[in-house]
Structure 1
Amino acid sequence: MKAIWETAKEITLQRIIMSYQLRSAALLIPNQLDGLCVIVTGSTSGIGYHTARELAFAGAHVIMACRRVDAAKGIAERWKEDADDRKTLHVEVMELDLLSLSSVKQFAAKWDQRGKPLHILINNAGILLLGEPRQFSEDGLEKHIQVNHIATSLLTLLLLPSMLRANSARIVNVNSVGHLWGAVEPKSWKIGAEEERKFSSMTSYGSSKLAQLMFLKALCTKLISMAETSVLCVAVHPGIVKSNLLSDGRMRGFWMLDPSEGARNVLFCSVRADVQHNTTENFAYYSQCKPGRMSSLAEDPKECLRAWDETLCILGFSPNGYLSEIIASRSFS
């Protein structure tokens, strides 16, 4: 019932609420983000495109992490041409394919070689294979769970040392109200596993977003327990947005937000100082630029820890020792 109610609220009220939000004062003040380094995944289209663009024009050093490198380079050049002559945009492109865990590791290794702090990581990239049969990646994982959760979580863990180098940092995961429809069933994540129920792409999508949410909350709890308070973890539902995931028009409706409007929610969680005041142990779930309601599973610390353990086991990391090793070995410049 909670899932039905929250989804119905989004459909009926989001256009009214966001119209009000969009009439408010400008979110980003030019140059206020000078000196901040931001990685945005999936930034060649949709929410990621508008998020990366606004951050770049606000003065941040933006890294567009995406599969379509040539397209991203063209976009970055257009942004630089659009910028005021007195303003230099700091935008670069790095290749990242979340359907390949090897690509994630290569990206993180290249970034780590710089030895620079990372201030904001925006995990925006995701997939929804609506109406399609169950599919697996080259890593043997169901594609929704790999892109939306496993690969995203791996990237977060591998970039964590860079975020700990910053005085303060944020991890912003673009989540979904669809997580309310999900269930965490790790034994169904891998190829060869039998499905407990008939496969549904929407249920798989929701489950991947729920696992992502629970993992992020567990990460934050563990960091706090280790007295690491510099990293703020925020999951954000950007609204039900006109999606570019599908080209046949199935994800369109007059009540849906444009990608630029959906990006407003992500930007809010990425840069607003007052977000931290609405966190519990440095974690928050946001919807419509304010704290939202999560699944009861995500509210359960034991369930979140289970999602954490299962994820790290799949990645080949020690559930209890990985973070301790990072914190013990890290050094500040």
Structure 2
Amino acid sequence: MMMMVKAIWETAKEITLQRIIMSYQLRSAALLIPNRLDGLCVIVTGSTNGIGYHTARELAFAGACVIMACRRVDAAKKIAERWKEDANNSKTLHVEVMELDLLSLSSVRQFAAQWDQSGKPLHILINNAGILLLGEPTQFSEDGLEKHIQVNHIAASLLTLLLLPSMLKANSARIVNVNSVGHHWGVVEPESWKVGAKEERKFSSITSYGSSKLAQLMFLKALSTKLVSMAKTSVLCVAVHPGIVESNLLSDGRMRGFWMLDPSEGARNVLFCSVGADVPRNTTENFAYCSQCKPGRMSGLADDPKECLRVWDETLRILGLSPNDYLSEIIASRSFS
């Protein structure tokens, strides 16, 4: 009951205050990022629309090499060409398109293998892509996982783990997971993630979405703790609630409300966490949860190290990886400067 009250309170605060706070704090995305980000490699998932689109565009125009990781490759290529035309020869944009479908773990592995072949260091990974199947019954992916948990957590976590060696090549790197205040509505029930699992409660798309974002948050926190314990402190792990944003997450069209932020405003929070100089000063064990461009309040479950470790263990077991040895194995198998 107490968790439900906190969830309602955190959501109500966002609805009531977010537009006032955002309008006061941040008037332009350009104020958030350095003039030049030359030399930085950034991967943004789900970058053909919404928050991901605006995040990728701002970083590209600031000089970063941006990789648009998305399902709709043709659409992404057209967007990249339009951005280059918008630059109007005033600067050279470095934008690449790579196919990635988070509803297929095989696609995630193929993407990571292709990136690894480039040999490039990765400075920023922005796990932005997500789904919300509002009002729909339980749906499972080809991998046998409930779709919210696969896209919003399992696939994003696999991508993060597979790209971690490239991030450790960089002098400093950031993992930025686009999370949600909806994680306060989530529960930790790994036994319900897979097809054929016995449901402990009646399925709710809102609860499932919240649970996937909660799991994403707890996994990232566990990863940060483990990296710090292994003296790998060059990778900063940040989860960000971008605000309650007008989006096309819903399958039947855009979600709108007069109190919602538009996607470009939501992208400001993501940009702040991706390149903001103040973020490292507000971390604990190289982890931070941000909302409205400042430290935010997480669910109490995400503050429980044992529960975070449980999410970590179950996630790696689903992926066929060793919960205890995977990180040490990849670090031992490569030499990082």
Per the shorter chain, which TM-score range?
over 0.9
Gaps of 5+ in 1: none
Which residue is equivalent to 1:332?
A: 336
Letter in structure 1 aligned against 2:34 = I
Map 1:238-317 to 2 at 5 A: 238-246=242-250, 248=252, 251-317=255-321
Structure 2: distance between partners of 1:261 and 1:88: 25
Tell me the secondary structure at the aligned position of residue 191 of structure 1: coil
TM-aligned CA distance change 1:42 to 1:6, over 3 Å = same
Q: Which residue of 1 aligns with 2:32?
A: 27
Q: Which deviates further from its counterpart, 20-29 or 258-267? A: 20-29
Looking at structure 2, the residues matched to 264 and 72 of structure 1 have their Cα atoms a distance apart, in angstroms, of 21
The equivalent position to 1:115 in structure 2, one of 95, 114, 119, is 119
Return the alpha-carbon distance in structure 2 between the equivalents of residues 232 and 62 of structure 1. 19
2:52 paired residue number: 48
Relative to structure 1, the CA distance from residue 203 to residue 77 in structure 2 (aligned partners, 3 Å threshold; closer, same or farther) is: same
Q: State the one-letter code of the partner of 2:335.
A: S
User: Pairwise mapping of residues 215-254 of structure 1 onto structure 2 (< 5 A)?
Assistant: 215-246=219-250, 248=252, 251-254=255-258
Match of 1:36 in 2: 40
Cα offset for 1:84? 3.9
Query: Partner letter of residue 273 of structure 1?
Result: A
Corresponding residue of 1:176: 180
Mapped contact 2:112–2:159 kept (Cα < 8 A)? yes
Aligned partners of 1:217, 1:22: CA distance in 2, in Å? 27
Residue-pair matches, total: 332
Query: Structure 2 length normalisation: TM-score?
Result: 0.97
TM-score, with structure 1 as normaliser:
0.98
Q: C-alpha distance in 1, partners of 2:200/2:54?
A: 39
Amino acid at match of 2:41: C
Shift of residue 251, structure 1, vs aligned partner: 2.1
User: Equivalent residue of 1:13, what SS?
Assistant: helix
Partner of 2:63: 59
1:29 to partner: Cα distance:
3.5
Q: Is the 8 A contact 2:69 2:97 kept in 1?
A: yes
For the residues of structure 2 that align with 1:62 and 1:250, how far apart are their CA atoms? 26
2:133 is aligned, of 110, 122, 129, to 129
Instruction: Provide the residue aligned with 1:16 in structure 2.
Output: 20
Name the SS for the 1:286 alignment partner.
strand
AA aligned opposite 1:148: N
Q: Which amino acid aligns with 2:45?
A: T
Post-superposition Cα deviations, 1:220-279, rounded to whole Å, max 9, x if no partner, equal 000000000000000000000001112645721100000000000000000011100000
Q: Find out whether 1:100 has 2:104 as its counterpart.
A: yes
Which range moves more in the overlay, 7-16 or 78-87? 78-87
Give the CA deviation at 1:133. 0.5
Separation (CA, whole Å) in 2 of partners of 1:224 and 1:105: 25
Percent identity, please: 89
Distance 1:90 1:21 in 2: 30
Unaligned runs of 5+ in 2: none
Say which of 210, 213, 216 aligns to 2:217. 213
Partner SS for 1:55: helix
Give the residue type in structure 1 aligned to 2:179.
N
Deviation at residue 86 of structure 1 after TM alignment: 3.0
Q: Deviations over 1:195-238 (max 9, x none)?
A: 11110000000000000000000000000000000000000000
Q: How far did 1:66 drift? A: 0.1
**Is the contact between residue 246 and residue 254 of structure 2 (CA under 8 Å) also seen in structure 1?**
no
Q: Which amino acid aligns with 2:33?
A: L
Paired residue secondary structure (2:278): helix
SS in structure 1 of the partner of residue 135 of structure 2: coil
Q: 1:184 Cα deviation (Å)? A: 1.1
